[in-house]
Amino acid sequence: MAGILYMIPCPIGDFDHPYEVLPATNGEIMQRLDYFIVENSRTARRFLSRANIGRPIEELELAECNEHTHPKELEQLIKPLLEGRSAGLISEAGVPGIADPGADVAALCHRRGIRIVPLVGPSSILLALMASGQNGQSFAFNGYLPVKPPERDKAIRRYELRAQTEGQSQLFIEAPYRNVKLFDRLLTLCHPGTLLTVALDITMPSESIRTAPIQEWRDAPPPPLDKHPAIFIIGSLSSHPTSHHTGPDRKFGQNKRNPKKVLPIR
């Protein structure tokens, strides 16, 4: 019988005590494992050491799966599971499999008939949406925006139009060192009335989550974005799912009061 792949979240920030943000039951499962597929061996060892799993870290077998892993190498990674050995999958931060190369491991396990068990832990994407006040009934996570400016600008306009016409919250992320440039383009390209959420350092002492129209962001001092993990959400003032008078029609995604009215995209 094949083993089980446990999707093990880890803290988003640098926590000395992981169980401040993780349930104790995760530790009970990690104590039973001696094989882990990890995005980064160094950070995984630090996490497992702080998680007090009850055995020396040197006794554990860690295999890396990251952006440099070739698809042909994935079969070797899950070979122990096919032989009956359970494993834990650990991302560098947060939940594995979401905007994370661990998704390729999970996909292969499905094809090979290996059971996958996701464990509870912090997801910056869902936590940002929870606190944003934006539409949590219809939303899309779009991952990283294109790096090249022309393609990035097109993506921003596309997501803003979708938020306005469909009432769907549009979530995306950027490499921390490019956050400032992305924020500046959002303020330049988006309509003054478009809602923007910026969620920084989620679960950390420096956490900051704010939603405001673009014009208010333009008028205020910029948030401390440089080199801080951030989630960005574009939304529409009329997209809240509980708004029965001015919100979008749930069937057609149009404004009930004026179905043809759409904010202009610059």
pLDDT tens digit sequence for 105-154: 999 999 999 999 999 999 999 999 999 999 999 999 999 999 999 999 99
Q: Which parts of the chain sit beneath pLDDT 70?
A: 239-266
Please tell me the distance from the alpha carbon of residue 189 to that of residue 204, in angstroms, as a whole number. 30
Confidence (pLDDT) at 15: 85
Classified by CATH at the fold level, domain 4-118 comes out as: Cobalt-precorrin-4 Transmethylase; domain 1 (3.40.1010)
pLDDT digits (tens, 9 = 90+) for 81-113: 999 999 999 999 999 999 899 999 999 999 999
Domain ranges of the chain: 4-118, 124-235
Confidence (pLDDT) at 115: 98
Confidence (pLDDT) at 240: 55
Q: Which CATH class, in words, describes the domain spanning 124-235?
A: alpha beta
Do 182 and 232 touch, CB atoms closer than 8 A?
A: yes
Do 20 and 47 touch, CB atoms closer than 8 A?
A: no
Q: Which two tokens stand for residue 13?
A: 């920030």
Confidence (pLDDT) at 237: 82
pTM of the model: 0.84
Q: In what order do the strands lie in the sheet with 115-118?
A: 61-64, 35-38, 87-90, 4-8, 115-118
Kindly state the DSSP code that residue 255 receives in the 8-state scheme. Answer: B
Confidence (pLDDT) at 14: 82
